[in-house]
Amino acid sequence: MTAAKDISLSRDAVADPDVREANARADKAPAADPAEKASLARKPAHTQAAGRSTAHESARAQVAGAATYVDDIPEVRGTLHAAPILSTVAHGKLLGVDITAALAMPGVRDVILARDIPGDAVLGNFSHDEPVFAQDTVQHIGQVIGVVVADTVMQARAAARKVVCKIEPLPAVLTVQDALKAQSYVLPPVFVKRGDAAAALKKAAHTLHGTLEVGGQEHFYLEGQVAYVVPQEQQQWLVYSSTQHPGEIQHWVSHALGIANHAVRVECRRMGGGFGGKETQSGQMAVWAAIAAHKLKCAVKLRMDRDDDFMVTGKRHPFAYEYDVGFDNTGLLTGLKITMAVNCGFSADLSGPVADRAVFHADNAYFLEDVEIASYRCKTNMQSNTAFRGFGGPQGMIVIEAIMGDIARTLGLDALDVRKRNLYGIGERDVTHYQMKVEDNILDPLLSKLERTAQYRSRREAISAWNEGSPVIKRGIALTPVKFGISFTATLFNQAGALVHVYTDGSVQVNHGGTEMGQGLNTKVAQIVADELGVPFAQVLATASDTSKVPNASATAASAGTDLNARAAQYAARNVRDNLAQFVAGLDRCGAGAVRFVCGDNGGEVITPEGTRPFTEVVKLAYANRIQLWSDGFYRTPKIHYDKTTLTGRPFYYFAYGAACTEVAIDTLTGESRVLKVDILHDVGTSINPAIDIGQIEGGFIQGMGWLTTEQLVWNDKGLLTTHAPSTYKIPATGDVPEHFKVDLWPEPNREDNVFGSKAVGEPPLMLAISVYEAMRDAVGSVVPPGECVVLEAPATAEHVLRSVGSHSLPT
């Protein structure tokens, strides 16, 4: 989720009553008339495409190596290749750039620097704080100073390393602690308060003070960052980009070239993974390639080397926390103060909304009555951190889950009982600290069901017995919940458009503003469109994201890709269906509501009281009678509003819920660990595609497990990222997946009017992996004196586990 730019227009703030009325009308989604509802109710369930585990639309092509990614697109004659010139200093004055040696290298055509930018030398993002190329100063090791352009990619990369940059070092800020001391921020601090936390802490029966540090995470998409820019006629440009946000690429490229948006067309058929890392930061690659293409008047491709990708691009934001919590004898939280220090890197990027979402999710599943949260958006001389699956939600949730674990250990209670004691209620204790009422709460029944099905209580007893008899290998277990808000917190991004074309042979093409990154968005959209028209799934083709088809599309992020784009596509298909229904009703002299579109054994059928026609025949007849067979669709998320100045309102349309029960083992002599068992119960509403949803849950959990166990980013005291390749940065492999890995879906539709009754599934499962971290702390707790809290830095690498065991171990 990923959410997008730190921009929010509160609709409550609109003064014009006519505009407010128009907004209110627009929030009411098009409703089916009674006849249409009856028609849909009569439609046999087995004919539906949605609700089935249909294979991913690109699966066969992908396993056959026939799916096209940006680097697979045939290159036009004369294409050149670019490679970045990187700063080797974390902070310094850029005194000069000597390109003599690079220009003498074989195949080199030119070196592109800031002086070659025809438009604005600052990227066209909302904060306007990041240069296209470094000019007077460099602000992190790996900042791009320019690009070398050569006949081949290897020639360009070799020559880039021959460029000599004269840099005078300046003091660098490399930790959030140093940033806090220097008051070095990319954005002003934010404070959210409800009740009187200070007074509540004073009168609390028990209090705890604690700190926690949680590291970042490299996206490690299989397909690296890549852009291919091809000049077109009359100063127009075609950009192929591996991006989650083609519209932003269009804006950034036109901004850098000093031309209008309409002169830039951006296309993305698919990405080989994104995870938030291609929401904004794919834009730099496209801009650099476009500037080179503009100067040299030819096509230019920029494909990042994996090591350079690590050095240049931002990561998940590392967080440091300090907290004071008050609670009673039952574990009920009575007062809380949290300070969050966010390592944003050298520019704002998406740090504002990421930090905001962390504040929003500092409650996770728990009611916080008297609470103060301070969020500091720290500027450091590191890569500019960016969106990553969960978009601040994981960093908000992990601190409150750690606090729940600390309370349980202090009181000698089971951590699950403390968690259940603090859950949001129904009809009471049901308003968040940002003033949104939790209307769809299923937390207690969901946790209770997983507690039973995962046999949590009996396993807890068995683990205690194991630990009594095992001096070296210790086990731990934790069951943790997730409550994740779905919508962009920047209200204006909660909109989508789509086009549906029905051709005269009855085949259907759908195009929408979302992007496919392996998550199955195009598959789900095609399933929804197939059902709306009553045709087989195989008859619908979803095509590449293209800014010349659907303009101004939001990023595919915030877990809202299906919610927004499938609904827009459904409305477009519905418009075509209504055109056909009116036409057929005229032929058969019946009401349009009596016309049904059903996928039968022989394909699409159009049924009226007078008889049945094949869908293909109806389409041909409609075309012959000049009936419109294509339409657009537009959707805007209803109900949401959000005041950026106070961080209050209803930023989310609904919540997605889930819980995971995880069992782990640690070796107290080496710090090594293994995840033994995982049981998940997750809420996806009525699933559009259960196989894809379960795949997202499994993948999200494993990615979250990597964040909290093995994926450690290490910078040295000069600001150099030393873990910049697979040799030094470990993502989970197949051997890390537990043999017992069980995923069940919660059997209830979305209580809000969402497409097919579904819920978002992209990001929420990642936070289920917090159960791994808490189970690791539980295992360490078996060697800790009773009542003492477990301090374990995340990720819980072998080194960190061993350090935690050593600092807490009971005396022999």
- C-alpha dist (Å) from residue 611 to 585, 596, 605, 606, 608: 11, 11, 10, 8, 5
The answer to whether residues 753 and 691 touch, using CB atoms and an 8 Å cutoff, is no
Under 8 Å CB-to-CB from 432, ≥6 apart: which residues? 360, 363, 368, 438
Q: What are phi and psi of 96, to 5 degrees?
A: 180, 160
Q: Give the side-chain half-sphere CA count within 13 A for 799.
A: 5
Amino acid at 250: Q
Task: Please answer whether residues 149 and 80 qualify as being in contact, where contact means their C-beta atoms are separated by less than 8 angstroms.
Answer: yes
Cα radius of gyration rounded to whole Å, the chain: 27
Amino acid at 146: G
CA-closest candidate to residue 355, choices 395, 310, 412: 395
DSSP H or E stretch at residue 17: helix 17-26
Q: How many CB atoms lie within 10 A of CB 448?
A: 12
In which element (H, E) is residue 399 found? helix 393-411
| Strand bridging mode 137-138 / 92-98 | antiparallel
State how far the alpha carbon of 516 is from the alpha carbons of 270, 273, 309, 620, 757, in Å.
5, 9, 21, 32, 22
Residue 598 pairs with which residues in a beta bridge?
Answer: 605
Are 384 and 345 a contacting pair, CB within 8 Å? yes
Nearest alpha-carbon partner for 397 in 480, 476, 324, 489: 480
* 137 contacts 95 by C-beta, under 8 angstroms: no
Q: Is-contact 51 687, C-beta < 8 A? A: yes
* Alpha carbon 242 to chain centroid, angstroms: 16
Write the CA distances from 94 to 90, 163, 165, 391, integer angstroms.
11, 13, 7, 33
Are the C-beta atoms of residues 195 and 370 closer than 8 Å to each other?
Answer: yes
Whole-angstrom CA distances from 124 to 248, 514, 551 are: 9, 21, 17
β partners of residue 479: 661
Number of neighbours of residue 421 by Cβ within 10 angstroms: 18
Q: State yes or no: is 218 an active-site residue.
A: no
The closest alpha carbon to 478, from 678, 698, 736, belongs to: 678
Contacts of 721 (CB under 8 A, 6+ apart): 141, 142, 310, 311, 382, 383, 713, 714, 715
Query: How many beta carbons lie within 10 A of that of residue 643, not counting itself?
Result: 15
Residue matched to tokens 């022999």: 812
For residue 201, give the nearest of 359, 327, 373 by alpha carbon. Answer: 327
Of 763, 774, 788, 793, which is the active-site residue?
Answer: 763
**φ, ψ for residue 711, nearest 5 deg:** -85, 85
| First-last CA distance in the chain | 48
Distance of CA 679 to the CA centre of its chain: 23
Q: What are phi and psi of 91, to 5 degrees?
A: -155, 130
DSSP-assigned beta bridge partners for residue 210? 323
Q: Which two tokens stand for residue 603?
A: 């394909």
**CA-closest candidate to residue 372, choices 528, 217, 196, 519:** 196
Tokens encoding 478: 């934790």
Query: Side-chain half-sphere of 123: how many Cα atoms within 13 Å?
Result: 24
Measured in degrees and rounded to the nearest 5, phi and psi for residue 150 equal -145, 175
Provide the token pair at 33: 């008339």
Catalytically annotated residues: 763
